[in-house]
Every structure is written in C-alpha cells, then in structure tokens.
C-alpha cells in the first residue's frame, strides 16, 4: 500500500552544472530546439502506458479524458479521472516503470485563470485538466520520487538514488517529423540534471535576497529574545504573538503571474499546463517531511499577462522588478482603484505571489547576469513583502520558486549564518546559494527546518492558518533513431545547420558538425535505431551502444548470482558478534533487457559467541561513551544507554548523565549489539534478528523449562501455588520464598486490587515496593536477573523474571484491602542421581491450534509439532524425539471475511527539533483489508473511530546554551590591514538568557576578531614646514624650513622618494635701509658682524647694506 512519500526535488536552481560552453552573455532560449542544442546531451524515448505489472496498454500517454470541469460541477467522475497511472520508458540504459497517483488538493476551489491585456483583465475561466500526478518507480518506493503531468505528454521530474531526470514531450518543429504517427507513440526528450550546461556569466548564477539585514542584523536575532514583538513596516508596526512551539497545518494560497515573455515562449496553448506542472513540483517540495512542518502550497489564482501593465515594470533589474511586482500584487489583493483593480466577485484571496518571467534577471543592475530569483526574507504574510520574482529556466524553475518562497518563510541560504553545508556538517540542500558536487538536492536542511519553524512559531505566519476550500484536482514502439536520423539528432544538439560527421562509431559516439564547422562530440551515443554500418554489418542499427543487424534486438539474458564472498571480520571480539558475506549478480550479469537477480545478496552468521570477561563494559554502553568526546550543541556530555520505551531497539539512544534529555546518537547500533537486555536477539543493519539459545543467528535452539539450552527439562522441578490467606490489612505479608537458581518466575494477582506485590532479600532488604513506597512499574535488576514489575490500568499487577536468581528471594504483599489471591509459579533446580534420560520418555505432540493470524480478511491457524516430556508434558528440544516419526504440522484458513475499516498509522517521522520542543508527524489513512495481502484506501469518513493525531510535540527538553555572535565592528584602521571585532555571548537557545562563557564550549566559540582591509593606504609623502626668517637683514641671505617624510597617520617614515623631496633651504633678500650715514656718526664695523673681511674680499662694499655694516673695512674701497 502506498503511504506518504517524502518528496524530492530541486535541480537546476542556483548554479548550473558545469560544461565547456562559453559565451559572452547569458543565453535565453527561444524554442525547445534551441534549448536542446545547448544541452551537453539528452536522449529521446517513447513512453508507453502499461498496467501495474508492466503489460502494454497504449502508446497514448497524454491525458485524453474529457476531465476538464468547472468548480461548480460535482466531484470528479471516477470514470473520467484516472486515479492511478503506470508508464514505462527507457533511457540512459535504464528502464523506468512509473507508478503514479493523482495529486489532489492542489488548487483552491475558487481557482481561476485570468488573461490580462494593457487595460487589465480581458477574460477568465475556471476549467482544469486532471492531469497532474506524483509517485515513484515501481518496486523502488522508498528511494525514488516522481512528479509528472500528462496534460500534453509526460512533463516533469524523475529522481533516483544516483541521478535526477527531466522529461518533456518533443515538439515537432521540423518537416521530417511530419510523417510521425501518434499511433506509434510520441517521442519525448529526457535529460539528466548533470547535462545542463553552465553558462558563461558575468558572475555565478545565484539567488538574490532582498532585505536580508535590518539595522545590521538578521530579523530573527534580538538581544533579549528570539523574536521582536514587532518590526517596522513602512513606518507602522504589526502586532506579533509571543513565540510558542505549536505546529499546525499551514495553507499558502498562491497567486502565480506569468509575464508576456512567458506567453511568447510557451504559447497560449501550453502555458497553463506548463505553469501548473511547475507548481505541482513546488507543492510536493513543501510536503516533504524534512521541512519539519506541514505546509500546503495551493494555487488560488493564475494570471497570464499578454501585454505590459501600466503599473507593473518588469525588466532585467531584479530588485526594481520585484519592488514593482510586490506593490502591483498588493493592489490586486487590496482591490484599490488603480486601473488594474478587479472586483472580488469570487476571486480567490492569496497569501503569497510568485512572478515567473523569461527575462534574464540580475540584482542591482538592468543587465543580464546569473541571478535566478529574488525574494524578501521573512516577508510571508506581509502584504507587500510576501512575493518573489523567478526566472523561467524550464522545469527547474520549480526549485527556484520553492527556494524563493523559502526566503519568504525566513530561511537563509545554507552555509550563510549557519553551519549547514559547511565542513563537518550536513550537506547544503534546497536552500543552497550555489550548487556544488556536495549539494544534496532532495530535501530541506536542518537549518532550513529551524528557520521556518522559528518563523511560524513566532506567530508571523498566522495568515496561513485558514484552510481554503479545495477542489479535487489531478496533475497533470518505434526506436527513436528511426524517427530522427543522425543528422536530425545533430540538429537538436548543435543547431539547425548541424549534421552528422562520418567519424568514429556512431553507436558509441555521435559526432556532429558544430557552428564553427568542426566535428565535435559530447560522447553521447546515437539514439537506438539509428542506422549504422561496420565491417561485418552492411546495414545495421544502434542498440545500447552497439551496431547490430537491422531489425534485430540482442537476446535478453537474465542475471544469475555469483559465488558468496569470504566471511568478513566479526563485529565483536566477544559476547556474540556477526560477520557478513556478499554475492553479486554477475554469473551472468543481466543483459539485453534481462531481469536482475532476486534473492539474498548479503548473509550473516554469528561469531565470537564466547561471553566477555567479567567486568567488561556493556557493548551498548561503550557505544554511547564513544560520543563523550564529541560536542553536542557546543557542549560535552557523558552518555549512557537510554533504557526507556518509545524508541527503536536497534537505534543508539543515549541519555545525557545529569540531564533530563536523551537523543539518538546513531540510527543504528553496531551489528551484534543485543536488541534488549532480556533477549539474545541482536541488531543487524538497524533491525532486530532472532538468535537461538546457542547464540547462533537464526538458530531454532530453544531453552527447556529449566533454561538449559537444548535440555530435556530434567534439571528442575516446577513449583506452583495460590496464596489466598485471609490476613489483616495494613502491613507486609509473605507470599512465597523463591530459592536461588529459580527460573521462569511468574507472580500475579488473580484480580485487580489496591494491594501491591513486593520483593525482598532474606536480609529484609526490599528491592521493589518496600518501606511503604510504591515504585513505578518498570524493569528492576535484582539477584542477577531482570524482574519486570507491571501494573496496567485495567489488569491485575504482576512480577516476572526469566532467572536464574543468584540469591534467595521472598515475595511479599502489601495488604491495603482484602487479599483476593495471588498465583505464583517458578522452576527450581534439582540434583538427580543417575541419568534422567532413562527415567522419562518423549513423544511428538500437536500443540493446540494457534490463534488465527488475522481477525479478518483471511488468516491462518497452525498446529505446531513439538517434542514433550511424558511425565510433565513440558516442551524440550526436538532432538529428544524420533525425527522419523514426526507428524506434519496442521494448517487451516480462518476469518476470511473482510476487515472493518481502520486507521493506518505510520511511523513517527524524525522530530523537527532535537530539543526546545519540536513537532513530529506521521501518515494516517483509513484503510480496509480485503485479503491477506490486499487492502483498499477509503475516505476518512469510512473509519468510525476518532481520527488519530498526525502530529504531536516532541523533544520538549531544554537545549544546552549556545554561542550567539553580535554584529562586527567597523574595520580599524581605515585603510590597509586591520581587524574587526565583535561581542560573542553564551545564550540560552531562545536567546532570552545570558550565561557565563564557561557554560558554552570554548572549542565552538565563534571568532571575536577577524582580519580586514578597506583598501591600500596612501603612500608616505614629503611635508614641508613654513620658511624661516631670512638670514640677512639687508640684501641677500638664506632662509630654512623643515621637510619631513610622513605616513598617512602622521608618523615619521623613510619611504618617501628622494627625487621628489622639496628643498629645505633657499636664497632670500632683505630690503636695505638707504639712509646715508651722517658725518657725525662714527665709521666703524658693527661688532656682531664677523664677515666684514669676506665682504671686502668678495667686493660687496658697493652694496649699501654691507658698506653700512662694514663701514670701516670698506673705507677707501
């Protein structure tokens, strides 16, 4: 039965696969034919419709039912809407058997398609085609995902474990295809995600983010709490509810708008089907359990723009286009009178708006570049910010749209401000900013899950709480080489002028003439059925890379198992481990379409079954302890096995000592670990496997009544009794003494009462329910064995143990009311003289009919044949009876009537959070079983009992403290190498409390200082001071100034070039006083002047200044 499947997806998205193609600009394909020329390679295939077993039904794969209907019509006629479809196709050497189911609840009951001209709405309709499906590959339910529409052929995505494939109908654009008959099937193009070529861009293809930061910090980071009570929006405040951890189903009513370039590219005939096919994939992405929330993407309204709109500007500039689109869609939502307004009149409300354009958009500039989408972070439910712009790149647009809606939900890119996609952490997933070889494209990362959970829990997604009315809606053998010859195949790849180069073996590599008139190949073989020729084959055709005689197909050979490999290393050195052996399907390997081998490909056997030495550490305990040195949420804990219920026995669940939380440290324990302490069964590959009492995996060896493996039951005696003494109330009374070595101990009240069974030692030390204190029912390790104390709410209490006990024990009862009776039985060891085998006989016996294996829909009852002792009728190992006289086991059918409807309850999925309260979900379906291996699914109303819950809170324990980093400071200094600094605080997980730094792991502390640079600093320069006073008071002299080499900070430097150094000294001239010396003044040299002899020597006496200063020296000269 098909249960909920985890959806997949993504593909092209944010960085395309690399190739050797280069161009000066980003290409925009004008047709499918041109698009195919830029694929690295693709293949043609003709899908056929088959039944569930793969038997051929028809070449017609497109939806040919007249299932278009209005929303006012009655529910879909089962004869019109095919709820299950099966298709087969072959490509890349693989055979795909598709198992598809209708995708319901995808569009609103009020869904409309509107065509808008320059003056607004021109016409609308509410017809739908039931042609959209989701599913998986037959027999590969858990590992494959499919989302296809068959509105006009198969259009969608097939995801397997190792590759993702796009498939779409081949459009007949050439004259050669006119001869093609649809009665023989329609060719489809199928290509791998990895074949999409990387275009040579100005920058890498990426996703843009609008309003990522507000006031320098992300919206979800606040100093005192995880979320602000309000955020400024256009000068106003929107009220926010306080954060709470409650998950409910959300419904995103979506408006999808296609611009006129989309209409020009896809055409009016196909655009509706194409867009709904894309949104089908988006919807499945948001129903993937890895999201950690139940989010339904519901298409409420589709607007197709056939002309430009007056108030909507769309061009290459992604930021401006997004801003214009967000305002425009809000005007439609709010019905303002702006020329584009339409009356409500049944038009569906929308919570989120998606614009799909053929423009090659780019952030921050009106030119083509690598941006594929742009959205506001955390804009969901804010009317003017709950929107995105997405570039149409084919079916891969679905993953861009899902990515951008993720930003609206508050998600950041994986690896940007979080650990996802970084070294040592999980790979980046759907919210990766760029695709690399390490990107996991199938689901959401834990970081994305945390972002959207935090967003919704904060109360910011309240507009998504209302569930809109939905309408039942269903999403939408000629060899290819014979339809398209080698020349045609070359034209698909390299353009209309290309043709085949007669070079190499065409069936192995198709060589084609490129636009530069060179023979090139992408190493892809020609399509099967392409004509070929070899030295031995004059006329042949290609089949799986080989040239075979025309019209023949190689014989199919089914695969066969090869020999088993040698046994591998034992998983344990003692205590019972396992080793494994493999075989491969290679004797022969399947070929020519033959079947792969069926049966066991890996086997196991027990090894090293000897007990471990006394005092050896428990194996599961050791596995938990191995995580002691690994930080968990930034802190180290001492781990021990968690022994409580509600967990998988073969998962490694460990309890943090001293704390009240446990977690799954590994999904599977090491092979050979015991499933539980009371059983010899061991875990292999995460599943519990039976082990006989001889410690051999899969052995049917059983213990006898004395717990002797393979024994005959002769080493113990059975003790049974009934204690019903009438005793005074209000005290402990002895029931029975259990000797040392006793096994198979059972003590049980005959009726419910207020009395309590207790257990103590001979020394009056109580182990269970002593000292007037009643213990919780659980397992007690007492006297070398495990006692299970049970106290159900609707059954008498009991005490059971397998034994053997290592000491004498006394069963007591604490009487609170009248003793209604206690039954007990156990086996005590005895010592016999002689051989017990000679004293007792054995015989085969049919056991009573077993209970019917099913209460309805056909079950089986069996009478097992066992070997019993003749004296006490106890069961012993079969080898004590004569094997030749063993009678056959009896069997009969029973309860063949159909079962009443019942709820199918799937396993709980992983909790959305490991602590601080998350949510987990499970599948709940109403089914009715009508046969042993056949059941049918009914409407929920078919089940009369209350519908089980599908989601519940989990992991409510508090998370350990974590580091929270504030914003970086500015770079200091302003140029050249410098540093940024920030404050890092140890905060509680909800960011409401600050702890001492010692509470957080020092090893995981984010850096508080990083290097930075704001560009090169200006070079040192010469700085000259002011000129000093001239040295001469009259006439020529000299004057000086300081000249320094200084850095931009004013510090002295020696790096200034000497060639540009300014002079530090220059000649100067002072004005002389021309007043002649009076005759009364004495002619003498001024005493302070010491250079008068030089004045005479250099004949400066003629100058007035010097003649005055050196009057005596200059006399007569």
Per-chain mean pLDDT for the chain: 79
Judge if 454 and 494 occupy the same domain: no
The structural domain count of the chain equals 9
Q: Is the pLDDT of residue 155 over 60?
A: yes
The answer to whether 335 is annotated as binding is no
Assigned token pair, 25: 């600009």
Judge if 441 and 292 occupy the same domain: yes
Residue 861 pLDDT grade (very low, low, confident, very high; cuts 50, 70, 90): very high
Give the per-residue pLDDT at 969.
92
Q: Give the pLDDT confidence of 551-569 residue by residue, as tens digits.
A: 876 676 777 889 999 999 9
Kindly give, in sequence order, each residue whose CB lies less than 8 Å from that of residue 306, ignoring residues fewer than 6 positions away: 115, 116, 117, 122, 260, 263
The answer to whether 403 is annotated as binding is yes
718: burial class by Cβ within 10 Å (0-12, 13-18, 19+)? middle
Q: Give the pLDDT confidence of 328-363 residue by residue, as tens digits.
A: 998 887 443 333 333 344 466 789 999 999 888 887
The answer to whether 186 is annotated as binding is no
Residue 806 pLDDT grade (very low, low, confident, very high; cuts 50, 70, 90): very high
The answer to whether residue 608 is domain-embedded is no
Assigned token pair, 380: 């969901």
The answer to whether 654 is annotated as binding is no
Q: Give the number of residues written for the chain.
A: 1117
Judge if 295 and 361 occupy the same domain: yes
Q: Give the pLDDT confidence of 203-238 residue by residue, as tens digits.
A: 334 565 554 332 222 222 222 222 222 222 233 333
The answer to whether 188 is annotated as binding is no
The answer to whether residue 338 is domain-embedded is yes
The answer to whether residue 791 is domain-embedded is yes
Neighbours of 1029 (CB within 10 A): 11
Report DSSP state, residue 865. Answer: E
Q: Which of 404, 749, 910, 935 is catalytic?
A: 404
Question: 938 in helix, strand or coil?
Answer: strand
Is 934 a residue of the active site? no
Of residues 1105 and 868, more confidently modeled: 868
Judge if 498 and 371 occupy the same domain: no
The answer to whether residue 816 is domain-embedded is yes
Span 814-832, average pLDDT? 89
Judge if 873 and 918 occupy the same domain: no
**Model's pTM, two decimal places?**
0.38
Judge if 333 and 399 occupy the same domain: yes
Span 13-18, average pLDDT? 28
Judge if 267 and 410 occupy the same domain: yes
Q: Give the pLDDT confidence of 699-741 residue by residue, as tens digits.
A: 888 888 898 888 888 889 899 999 988 888 888 999 999 999 9
CATH assignment at residue 884: 2.20.100
d(CA 212, CA 412) in angstroms, rounded, equals: 8
Name the domain boundary from 549, 569, 584: 549
The answer to whether residue 270 is domain-embedded is yes
Q: Give the pLDDT confidence of 142-152 residue by residue, as tens digits.
A: 778 888 888 77
The answer to whether residue 92 is domain-embedded is no
Give the per-residue pLDDT at 667.
84
Give the per-residue pLDDT at 174.
42
Judge if 627 and 772 occupy the same domain: no
Neighbours of 616 (CB within 10 A): 12
Judge if 445 and 296 occupy the same domain: yes
Q: Report yes or no: 769 and 775 within 8 Å, Cβ to Cβ.
A: yes
Span 848-852, average pLDDT? 89
Judge if 909 and 890 occupy the same domain: no
Span 178-205, average pLDDT? 60
Least confident range from 140-154, 547-561, 611-625, 1065-1079: namely 1065-1079
Judge if 353 and 465 occupy the same domain: yes
d(CA 993, CA 981) in angstroms, rounded, equals: 23
Q: Give the pLDDT confidence of 239-296 residue by residue, as tens digits.
A: 333 333 345 788 999 999 999 998 887 788 778 887 887 887 788 788 777 777 788 8
Span 1053-1064, average pLDDT? 91
Of residues 95 and 239, more confidently modeled: 95
Q: Which residue range forms the structural domain that includes residue 916?
A: 902-954
The answer to whether 788 is annotated as binding is no
The answer to whether residue 140 is domain-embedded is no
The answer to whether residue 415 is domain-embedded is yes
The answer to whether 207 is annotated as binding is yes
Span 878-907, average pLDDT? 87
Comparing CA positions, the residue from 440, 433, 360, 358 lying closest to residue 403 is 433
Give the per-residue pLDDT at 721.
94
d(CA 33, CA 496) in angstroms, rounded, equals: 9
d(CA 363, CA 369) in angstroms, rounded, equals: 8
């Amino acid at each position: 039965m098909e249960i909920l499947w985890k959806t997949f997806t993504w593909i092209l998205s944010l960085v395309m696969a690399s190739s050797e193609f280069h161009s000066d600009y980003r290409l925009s394909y004008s047709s499918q034919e041109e698009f195919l020329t830029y694929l690295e390679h693709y293949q043609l295939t003709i899908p056929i419709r088959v039944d569930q077993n793969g038997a051929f039904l028809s070449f017609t794969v497109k939806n040919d039912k007249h299932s278009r209907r209005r929303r006012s019509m009655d529910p879909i006629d089962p004869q019109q809407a095919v709820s299950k479809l099966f298709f087969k196709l072959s490509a890349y050497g693989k055979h795909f058997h598709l198992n598809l189911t209708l995708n319901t609840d995808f569009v609103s009951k009020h869904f409309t398609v509107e065509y808008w001209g320059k003056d607004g709405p021109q016409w609308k309709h509410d017809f739908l085609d039931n042609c959209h499906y989701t599913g998986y590959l037959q027999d590969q339910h858990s590992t494959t995902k499919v989302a296809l529409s068959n509105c006009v052929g198969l259009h969608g995505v097939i995801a397997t474990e190792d590759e993702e494939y796009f498939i779409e109908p081949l459009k007949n654009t050439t004259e050669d295809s006119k001869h093609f008959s649809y009665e023989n099937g329609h060719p489809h193009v199928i290509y791998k995600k990895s074949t999409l070529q990387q275009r040579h861009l100005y920058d890498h293809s990426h996703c843009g983010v609008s309003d990522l930061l507000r006031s320098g910090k992300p919206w979800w980071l606040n100093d005192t709490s995880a979320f602000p009570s309000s955020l400024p929006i256009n000068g106003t405040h929107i009220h926010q509810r306080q954060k709470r951890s409650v998950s409910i189903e959300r419904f995103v009513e979506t408006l999808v708008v296609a611009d006129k370039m989309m209409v020009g590219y896809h055409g009016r005939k196909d655009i509706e089907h194409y867009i709904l096919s894309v949104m089908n994939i988006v919807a499945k992405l948001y129903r993937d359990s890895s999201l950690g929330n139940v989010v339904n993407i519901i298409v409420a309204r589709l607007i197709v723009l056939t002309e430009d709109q007056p108030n909507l500007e769309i061009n290459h500039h992604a930021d401006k286009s997004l801003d214009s689109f967000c305002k425009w869609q809000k005007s439609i939502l709010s019905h303002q009178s702006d020329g584009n307004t339409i009356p409500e009149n049944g038009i569906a409300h929308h919570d989120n708006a998606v614009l799909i354009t053929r423009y090659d958009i780019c952030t921050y500039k009106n030119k083509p570049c690598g941006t594929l989408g742009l959205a506001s972070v955390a804009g969901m439910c804010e009317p003017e910010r709950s929107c995105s712009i997405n570039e149409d790149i084919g079916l891969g647009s679905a993953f861009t749209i899902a990515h951008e809606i993720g930003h609206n939900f508050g998600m950041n890119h994986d690896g940007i401000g979080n650990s996802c996609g970084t070294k040592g952490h999980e790979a980046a997933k759907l919210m990766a900013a760029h695709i690399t070889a390490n990107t996991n494209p199938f689901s959401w990362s834990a970081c994305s899950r945390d972002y959207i959970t935090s967003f919704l829990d904060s109360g910011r997604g309240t507009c998504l709480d209302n569930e809109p009315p939905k309408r039942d809606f269903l999403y939408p053998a000629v060899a290819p080489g014979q339809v398209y010859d080698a020349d045609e195949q070359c034209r698909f790849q390299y353009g209309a002028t290309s043709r085949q180069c007669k070079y190499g073996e065409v069936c192995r590599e198709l060589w084609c003439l490129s636009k530069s008139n060179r023979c090139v190949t992408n190493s892809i073989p020609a399509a099967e059925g392409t004509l070929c020729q070899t030295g031995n084959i004059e006329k042949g055709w290609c089949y799986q890379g080989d040239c075979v005689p025309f019209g023949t197909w190689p014989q199919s050979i089914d695969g066969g198992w090869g020999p088993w490999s040698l046994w591998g290393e034992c998983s344990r050195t003692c205590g019972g481990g396992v080793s494994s052996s493999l075989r491969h399907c290679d004797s022969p390997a399947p070929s020519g379409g033959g079947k792969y081998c069926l049966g066991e490909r890996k086997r196991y056997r027990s090894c090293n079954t000897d007990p471990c030495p006394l005092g050896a550490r428990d194996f599961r305990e050791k596995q938990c302890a191995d995580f002691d040195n690994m930080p968990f949420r930034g802190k180290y804990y001492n781990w021990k096995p968690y022994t409580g219920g509600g967990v998988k026995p073969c998962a490694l669940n460990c309890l943090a000592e001293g704390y009240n939380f446990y977690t799954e440290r590994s999904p599977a324990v090491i092979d050979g670990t015991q499933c539980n302490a009371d059983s010899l069964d061991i875990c292999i590959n995460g599943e519990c496997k039976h082990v006989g009492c001889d410690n051999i995996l899969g052995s049917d060896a059983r213990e006898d009544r004395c717990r002797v493996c393979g024994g005959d039951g002769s080493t113990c005696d059975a003790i049974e009794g009934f204690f019903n003494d009438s005793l005074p109330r209000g005290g402990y009374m002895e029931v029975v003494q259990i000797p040392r070595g006793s096994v198979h101990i059972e003590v049980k009240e005959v009726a419910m009462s207020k009395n309590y069974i207790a257990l103590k030692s001979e020394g009056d030390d109580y182990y269970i329910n002593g000292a007037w204190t009643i213990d919780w029912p659980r397992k007690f390790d007492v006297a070398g064995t495990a006692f299970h104390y049970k106290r159900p709410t609707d059954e008498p209490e009991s005490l059971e143990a397998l034994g053997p006990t290592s000491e004498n024990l006394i069963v007591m009862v604490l009487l609170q009311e009248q003793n209604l009776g206690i039954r007990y039985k156990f086996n005590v060891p005895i010592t016999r003289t002689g051989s017990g085998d000679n004293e007792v006989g054995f015989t085969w016996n049919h056991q009573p009919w077993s209970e019917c294996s099913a209460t309805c829909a056909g079950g089986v009852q069996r009478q097992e044949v066992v070997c019993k002792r003749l004296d006490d009728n106890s069961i012993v190992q079969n080898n004590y009876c004569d094997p030749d006289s063993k009678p056959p086991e009896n069997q009969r059918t029973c309860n063949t009537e159909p079962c009443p409807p019942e709820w199918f309850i799937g396993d709980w999925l992983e909790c959305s959070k490991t602590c601080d309260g998350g949510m987990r979900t499970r599948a709940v379906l109403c089914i009715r079983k009508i046969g042993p291996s056949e059941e049918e699914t009914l409407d929920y109303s078919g089940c009369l009992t209350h519908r089980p819950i599908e989601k519940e809170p989990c992991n409510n324990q508090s998370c350990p403290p974590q580091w929270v980093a504030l914003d970086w400071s500015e770079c200091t200094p302003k140029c050249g190498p410098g540093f940024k600094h920030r404050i890092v605080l140890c905060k509680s997980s909800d960011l409401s409390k600050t702890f001492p730094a010692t509470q957080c792991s020092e090893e995981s502390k984010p850096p508080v200082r990083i290097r930075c640079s704001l560009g090169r600093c200006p070079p040192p320069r010469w700085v000259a001071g002011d000129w000093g006073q001239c040295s001469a008071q009259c006439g020529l002299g000299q004057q000086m100034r300081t000249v320094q080499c200084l850095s931009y900070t004013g510090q002295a430097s020696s790096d200034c070039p000497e060639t540009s150094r300014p002079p530090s000294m220059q000649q100067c001239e002072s004005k002389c006083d021309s007043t002649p010396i009076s005759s009364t003044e004495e002619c003498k040299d001024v005493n302070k002047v010491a250079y008068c002899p030089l004045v005479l020597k250099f004949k400066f006496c003629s100058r007035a200044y010097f003649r005055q200063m050196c009057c005596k020296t200059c006399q007569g000269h």
